[in-house]
């Protein structure tokens, strides 16, 4: 600012005008900056609050982890266009899925797991990773048999539909036989999902015969827990190293669990495949009431407990014979 004697005389007027103009200019800039930043901040905050994927919305195969996906997906809908089964759709503002991004709901139209994966090929940005070339390696979600009370197989029926339709049958879903404690004489074949093979295509949920599916597919982080990274499973370490890593342990007798696996894995307990001598000696009599059963306690000091008398997994024994 010039404060020399010549300009000082006419300064007040000009200075006032200049400062008024300057003030107006600064005000307008501040308003524009404030407004613009507020709007952008609002959009940013809204995007943060809405960035969690709802429980039943699944991403297309090959989708990056959700936070990376939201950085990469430009919401163009090319994957939607190239899906031959109209599985995918784009969300709209107000939907629980981030605006414009592709998703599908398994119960409506599941993924048919095309071998050539056209949706991934169509993606121009890499939000769907072209590194996925084998659709069986897709991890769109994870099925979980959430309702044990209404699943027909849990009721002892042979529905098996989710198991039969599974594109990765016998790997992603297996039927695990279990004793049926209600009838006490039948098996339940329980559909069991395995996370290492389930692609999350949703065909099981789609085809569940119940009015509300008992098996549902969720985004993986919702359906899956995780062990702490430092956990080691003793039995796996033992198998890997061909023996216990901490030397032989004192084996104490386990009382009160005769006939059960008593804390050991069933395979371990089943290993001595020799038939139980007392019952074999008296096949016509019921084991529990024969005097030979009272001969079991004296044998207890042997380290391995008596093999289970009935039932694959031990526990309840109906003693039922055909």
Least distance to another protein from the beta carbon of 124, Å?
4
Residue among 84, 106, 80, 109 nearest 92 (CA): 80
104 burial (CB, 10 Å; 0-12 / 13-18 / 19+) is: buried
With beta carbons less than 8 A apart as the criterion, state whether 107 and 217 touch.
no
Q: Interface with another protein includes 70 (CB under 8 A)?
A: yes
Nearer to another protein by C-beta: 82 or 317?
82
Asked if residue 80 binds another protein (CB under 8 A), the reply is: yes
By CB under 8 A, residue 108 contacts another protein: no
* Closest CA relative to residue 85, chosen from 112, 106, 66, 51: 112
Stretch that binds another protein, among 66-74, 152-160, 209-217, 223-231 (CB under 8 A): 66-74
Q: Least distance to another protein from the beta carbon of 57, Å?
A: 15
Residue 18 in contact with another protein, rule: CB under 8 A: no
Is 73 a binding residue for another protein by CB under 8 A? The answer is: yes
Q: Residues 7, 16, 17, 125: which binds another protein (CB under 8 A)? A: 125
Alpha helices in 181-245 (DSSP H): 203-207, 220-223, 234-241
Beta carbon of residue 123, minimum distance to another protein (angstroms, whole number):
7
Q: Residues binding another protein: what is the number (CB under 8 A)?
A: 47
Distance between CA atoms of residues 177 and 190, nearest Å: 6
Rule CB under 8 A: choose which of 18, 37, 157, 210 binds another protein. 37
104/125 Cα distance (integer angstroms): 20
Number of neighbouring beta carbons within 10 Å of residue 179? 20
Judged by beta carbon, residue 76 or residue 270, the one nearer another protein is 76
Contact 301, 271 (CB under 8 A): no
* Residues found near another protein in the complex (CB under 8 A): 28-29, 31-33, 35-37, 39-41, 43-44, 46-48, 50-51, 67-68, 70-78, 80-82, 89-90, 92-95, 98-100, 122-126, 130
């Amino acid at each position: 600012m010039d404060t020399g004697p010549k300009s000082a005389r006419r300064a007040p007027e000009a200075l006032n005008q200049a400062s008024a103009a300057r003030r107006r200019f600064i005000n307008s800039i501040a308003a524009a900056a404030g407004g613009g930043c507020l709007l952008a901040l609002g959009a940013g905050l809204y995007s943060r609050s809405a960035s969690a994927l709802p429980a039943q919305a699944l991403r297309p195969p090959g989708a990056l982890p959700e936070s990376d996906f939201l950085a990469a997906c430009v919401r163009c809908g090319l994957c939607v266009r190239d899906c031959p089964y109209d599985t995918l759709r784009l969300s709209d503002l107000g939907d629980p899925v981030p605006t414009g991004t592709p998703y599908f709901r398994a119960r409506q139209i599941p993924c048919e797991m095309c071998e050539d994966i056209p949706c991934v090929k169509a993606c121009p940005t890499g939000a769907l990773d072209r590194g996925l070339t084998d659709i069986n390696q897709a991890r769109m979600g994870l099925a979980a048999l959430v309702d044990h009370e209404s699943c027909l197989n849990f009721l002892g029926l042979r529905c098996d539909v989710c198991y039969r339709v599974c594109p990765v049958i016998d790997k992603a879903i297996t039927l695990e036989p279990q004793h049926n404690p209600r009838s006490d004489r039948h098996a339940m074949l329980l559909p069991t999902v395995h996370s290492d093979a389930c692609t999350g295509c949703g065909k099981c949920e789609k085809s569940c015969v119940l009015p509300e599916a008992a098996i549902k597919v969720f985004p993986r982080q919702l359906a899956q827990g995780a062990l702490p990274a430092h956990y080691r499973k003793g039995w796996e370490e033992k198998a890997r190293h061909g023996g216990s890593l901490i030397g032989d342990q004192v084996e104490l007798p386990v009382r009160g669990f005769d006939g059960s696996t008593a804390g050991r894995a069933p395979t371990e307990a089943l290993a001595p495949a020799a038939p139980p001598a007392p019952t074999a000696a008296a096949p016509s009599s019921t084991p529990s009431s024969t005097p030979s059963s009272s001969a079991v306690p004296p044998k207890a000091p042997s380290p391995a407990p008596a093999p289970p008398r009935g039932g694959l997994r031990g526990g309840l024994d109906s003693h039922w014979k055909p």
